[in-house]
Amino acid sequence: MVSMRSVEDDHRRIRSIVKNLATATPLNYLSMDLLKLLIWNYRGADNNTFKRNLVEIIGVHKLEILILMETKVAFSTIRNLFNRFGFTALMFVDIGRSGGIWIVWDTSHVNVRASSVSSQAIYATVHKEDYEEWVRAAVYSSPNPSLRDTL
């Protein structure tokens, strides 16, 4: 059974990681070689080329987490494609036809919990059995400089 941390615990962990980055103390990086994660910036995720490539990538690499950005399509139009591959959990920020961030994952291998979501970023805690929890940020900053400054 997976233990779940509170959002406050996530925020404390993020602050601790950022504090460690600012010190001279070397960080202890986790070996995540067994976590299969793909981050893909793909414009136009509703076309047949994308779907064909995604099917092949998932089949070959047995992904556990998939993060897609700048999809240029509403998530609802291809949600069933992800369910077909076992990605039954999701979090997403749709920005209409201009972009967006989608995170989908296979709950039989990994758990992901959002700690902060905005129109330009999703911060999430990732937990895989027998590994320490870690924080993942998926950022798709706006091309508009005034909106980017709010990030």
Q: What is the pLDDT of residues 43-83, one digit of tens each?
A: 878 788 888 888 899 888 889 999 998 888 877 778 888 88
Residue with the two structure tokens 């911060």: 123
Does domain 7-23+35-148 fall under CATH 3.60.10.10? My reply is: yes
Q: What is the pLDDT of residues 16-33, one digit of tens each?
A: 765 665 554 554 554 445
Q: Is 130 left (phi over 0), alpha (psi -120 to 50) or beta?
A: left
* Cβ proximity of 73 and 79 under 8 Å: no
Q: Is 55 left (phi over 0), alpha (psi -120 to 50) or beta?
A: alpha
* Cβ proximity of 38 and 67 under 8 Å: yes
Which residue from 132, 121, 109 is spatially nearest to 27, judged by alpha carbons?
A: 132
Domain edges within the chain: 7-23+35-148
Q: What is the pTM of this model?
A: 0.71
Which residue from 103, 114, 97 is spatially nearest to 5, judged by alpha carbons?
A: 114
Task: Give the whole-number percent of the chain exceeding pLDDT 70.
Answer: 77
